[in-house]
Amino acid sequence: MQANSQNSSLSHLNDRGEAQMVDVSAKGATVREALARGQVRMDRATLAAIAAGNLPKGDVLATARLAGIMAAKQTASLIPLCHPLPLSLVEVTLTPDPDLPGYQITARVKTKAETGVEMEALTAVTVTALTLYDMAKAIDKAMDITHIHLVQKTGGKSGDWHRPA
Amino acid sequence: MQANSQNSSLSHLNDRGEAQMVDVSAKGATVREALARGQVRMDRATLAAIAAGNLPKGDVLATARLAGIMAAKQTASLIPLCHPLPLSLVEVTLTPDPDLPGYQITARVKTKAETGVEMEALTAVTVTALTLYDMAKAIDKAMDITHIHLVQKTGGKSGDWHRPA
Amino acid sequence: MQANSQNSSLSHLNDRGEAQMVDVSAKGATVREALARGQVRMDRATLAAIAAGNLPKGDVLATARLAGIMAAKQTASLIPLCHPLPLSLVEVTLTPDPDLPGYQITARVKTKAETGVEMEALTAVTVTALTLYDMAKAIDKAMDITHIHLVQKTGGKSGDWHRPA
Amino acid sequence: MQANSQNSSLSHLNDRGEAQMVDVSAKGATVREALARGQVRMDRATLAAIAAGNLPKGDVLATARLAGIMAAKQTASLIPLCHPLPLSLVEVTLTPDPDLPGYQITARVKTKAETGVEMEALTAVTVTALTLYDMAKAIDKAMDITHIHLVQKTGGKSGDWHRPA
Amino acid sequence: MQANSQNSSLSHLNDRGEAQMVDVSAKGATVREALARGQVRMDRATLAAIAAGNLPKGDVLATARLAGIMAAKQTASLIPLCHPLPLSLVEVTLTPDPDLPGYQITARVKTKAETGVEMEALTAVTVTALTLYDMAKAIDKAMDITHIHLVQKTGGKSGDWHRPA
Amino acid sequence: MQANSQNSSLSHLNDRGEAQMVDVSAKGATVREALARGQVRMDRATLAAIAAGNLPKGDVLATARLAGIMAAKQTASLIPLCHPLPLSLVEVTLTPDPDLPGYQITARVKTKAETGVEMEALTAVTVTALTLYDMAKAIDKAMDITHIHLVQKTGGKSGDWHRPA
């Protein structure tokens, strides 16, 4: 019993504990939005090199941002039980943070669909971070991709959710 | 000058600061290996639910592990300037850690190629973590994917690298 | 004339016999479901090894099931004239059958769309079977993937269809 | 013990029963070839319609053949533990067989690599069959995709294998 | 100011000049259609060889046409800021033109969505042309893919557009 | 006979006129390079807007360049009979040309493989051009993607080739 209710809480498992893509065909398509966040921590000198290398028209941040946007569209191919969704907006921002030191990354994703886009936002943040790592790894292999989490989600029957402070 | 040398340190940028896939055609194909690591931090109750939901044959950890392995093979599609490589091994492990509480994730990747597989290992860790999040997000949206980094790389002309303790 | 009417029966061909993706823009989006089935026949010893290897937490069946689910989402990339569809459910089951001996595989797929998901269900069964073959081919190369067919489809203007017994 | 040796026979499972992509980095790259076969059984009238619809320049068989060739190149994306391989040849043939009635399908795949192309050949046969189904399903939903198996493999350390008659 | 208004004209750039996928969630889903066109110019002998090679059942044109149709479905993976769309029709035609000499290619794409399918139609034309080049490059490497442009688009709030003569 | 020799000139067709991926397993892996070129012609005002929108850090050209690089890696998925190849370099350049007016695009691709990378270079040019179109189509739908061709190829048994002036 206990096991059963726990299984059904892990919503991608059926009664036999098997992974399945859950049925959303009875749910209405509504506008949903998710905001996720993460960080890439790096050496202070790496942060300076990216800033320098990115001016006047260096492609470091543009490359990372585009990789994140494009990855959001591949979420259903990467995450086995995600539903393929029509995305209506993907927006990725990279902000230098001298206190980390490193970059703060956020991704905002919207859809009009039967289920939410939390995984799309998290995937965008993650692949943006991986690409930033790839672009700078020749000078700093010890960078840390960290604190990736959902900030908030809105829309859908289960209601809004905001990460506790 | 300074700018130039910094640009060339960011090895994916050419002299004009433009992103390009670098030339590895003159490098020899040698066996290379990379090991990466990361964590998913979660509520203690979530860790317990996954443990319970995964027995006797629940698919939570198997799903996350496979997603990581399959994602390693998509690295060159996800990370814009990565070279497509023939992978000779991908191995992902998920270890419960009651002290986090959560899961420790490692990925080991090998190739016989002209360039290394650091990004493949980091991508495997990351997508394993994202999938674990996806499997358990119905009961814990506040999970944190964190401390993803390269542990070591071996092989290739640039030599071995081990993350400083 | 005869040729024409036969061509139009092969609905993916136009009047010139050329393959085209047909127009579904005038059709309404309704809930549609398809159920497909297939078998992997194998040596009795192979069936036993999978059963043994799958306990207590071996990944053989989980891997095959996930591969089938993920493949359903790639149907429009694999089958040239299939429409890309938002899938609302994919469910794959593998049942050992000592009388084959081997595994019975079924896949159930649902969508709310302008066209049906027969190909998605058949693709899921097929890739599940191929993955089971891959997992066990080291001990049994002679396995046979067989009797893959549509069991039933429901929804849509053309009405329900059930495979004759 | 018994369990262990059985697990290691299922070569994609490690000692803990977990699915992993096995290490082929120590193996030499040699020319390897695989031949696979399968059938699509259909109504006699369907076979006639395809024959008619395919003349003078109808695309039914060309579409199915190309889908199989292209799918062979996607094998490592579809089958979770397959190694990505450089394919040096993919050849698909479709032969009408009035006795089935239906089509006999064969696929021959070659590579120069560390591991074999059995799964590529089986995937090509399978997706060719699925596409043939898709092209003709408007007139015959009851078609059966059947008897898909490896015929032979050559090359590699484990030696040649021919399916017993 | 001037810069800002120009930026907002380049609709994929935000106020900071960063590329983003724009928000279409407030737009209604309506039927939209796009028609694109292009040419492959070639040696007269190449055109003759394709015509000869394509009879009675050669696959040159069928291969090029299918490649274009399948590529239309990959548009959102190829063009970084394109929205993934459910396509309701893709139709590619190849017409020999002795006056070029070469082939005229057109692609017509329809959707019921929040944004248009211009890029899908252009992608279909382009990949059809590239595939025709690939099929004939052994005898004519100097072929020219040329004059690819949008002919017209209909549907959507911004209204119809027809290319000026 | 005549037909046969013509068919074999169209190297992707077999004796029956069927499309097949040709066998390169007997060929040696050597360094090969291809250079392709193309143009996007546009309104003079569009060229000015891109120049303005791209400064100081607008992403227009970086987005187009990255799309071209990433597309080169997808060539074997897009062009049905292309062999999947390990690319050792992809380099895309966009040069404004006030005389067109518009942009000149070149792509240079290298590999160490059994067959050449002409299609990869042409695909990179083409998708760069399509992305530039996508970025600017809100202000200029009449842009023309034109004069895409191979400039030269080097390496491989068939020897070097340079486009006649």
pLDDT digits (tens, 9 = 90+) for F4-57: 334 447 778 787 778 888 888 888 889 999 999 999 999 999 999 888 866 444
The answer to whether the CB of B63 falls within 8 A of the CB of B71 is no
∠ CA F99-F103-F107, rounded to 5°: 130
Position D63, amino acid: T
Q: Regarding beta strands E144-154 and E30-41, do their DSSP bridges make them parallel or antiparallel, or are they unpaired?
A: antiparallel
Burial zone of D57 (CB within 10 Å; 0-12 exposed, 13-18 middle, 19+ buried) = middle
Helix-helix angle E60-72:D60-73, to 10 degrees: 60
Residue in D10, D16, D18, D112 to test binding to B, most B beta-carbons within 10 Å: D18
pLDDT grade, residue E8 (50/70/90)? very low
- C15 in active site: no
pLDDT digits (tens, 9 = 90+) for F61-111: 999 999 999 999 999 999 999 999 999 999 999 999 999 999 999 999 999
Q: Where are the beta strands (DSSP E) in chain C?
A: 30-41, 87-97, 102-113, 144-154, 161-162
CA distance F20 to F14: 7
Each domain of chain A, given as residue ranges in start order, spans 30-156
Lowest mean pLDDT across A113-127, A151-165, E5-19: E5-19
Burial track E126-140 (b if 16+ CB lie within 10 A, e otherwise): bbbbbbbbbbbbebb
pLDDT grade, residue D102 (50/70/90)? very high
Q: Which of residues 64-83 of C touch A (CB under 8 A)?
A: 65-66, 69-70, 73-74
CA distance A136 to B81: 12
Which chain D residues touch E64 with a CB distance below 8 Å? none
Estimate to the nearest angstrom the gap between the alpha carbon of D159 and the chain centroid. 20
CA distance C58 to C65: 13
The answer to whether the CB of C119 falls within 8 A of the CB of C11 is no
Residue C3 is predicted with a pLDDT of: 36
CATH of span B30-156: 3.30.70.640
**Considering chain C, what percentage of its residues have pLDDT values greater than 70?**
91
How far is the alpha carbon of E62 from chain D, nearest alpha carbon, in Å?
6
Q: Look at residue A5 and tell me whether its pLDDT is greater than 50.
A: no
State the ipTM, two decimals.
0.93
Residue E58 is predicted with a pLDDT of: 57
pLDDT digits (tens, 9 = 90+) for D20-35: 888 888 888 899 999 9
CA distance F153 to B1: 34
Q: Tokens standing for D28?
A: 């030499």
Residue D26 is predicted with a pLDDT of: 83
CB pair distance less than 8 Å for D89 and F19: no
- DSSP states along chain F: -HHHHHHHHSTTB-TTS-B-BPP-TTS--EEEEEEEEEEEE--HHHHHHHHHHTSSS--HHHHHHHHHHHHHTTHHHHSTTPPP--EEEEEEEEEEETTTTEEEEEEEEEEEESS--HHHHHHHHHHHHHHHHHHHTTT-TT-EEEEEEEEEEE-STT--EE---
CB pair distance less than 8 Å for E89 and C18: no
- DSSP states along E100-160: TTEEEEEEEEEEEESS--HHHHHHHHHHHHHHHHHHHTTT-TT-EEEEEEEEEEE-STT--
pLDDT grade, residue C54 (50/70/90)? low
- DSSP label at residue A151: E
Q: Tokens standing for D125?
A: 């046969």
Q: What H or E segment, with its residue span, contains residue B113? A: strand B102-113
If one compares D5 and B131, the residue with the highest pLDDT of the two is B131
Residue B29 is predicted with a pLDDT of: 87
What is the chain F residue with the closest CA to A62? F59
Residue E122 is predicted with a pLDDT of: 98
The answer to whether the CB of E116 falls within 8 A of the CB of E156 is yes
For chain B, residues with pLDDT lower than 50 are 1-8, 55-57
Establish how many alpha carbons lie within 13 A of residue A51's alpha carbon, considering only the half-sphere containing its beta carbon. 14
**DSSP bridge partners of E78:** none
Q: Would you call E59 an interface residue with chain D, using a CB distance cutoff of 8 Å?
A: yes
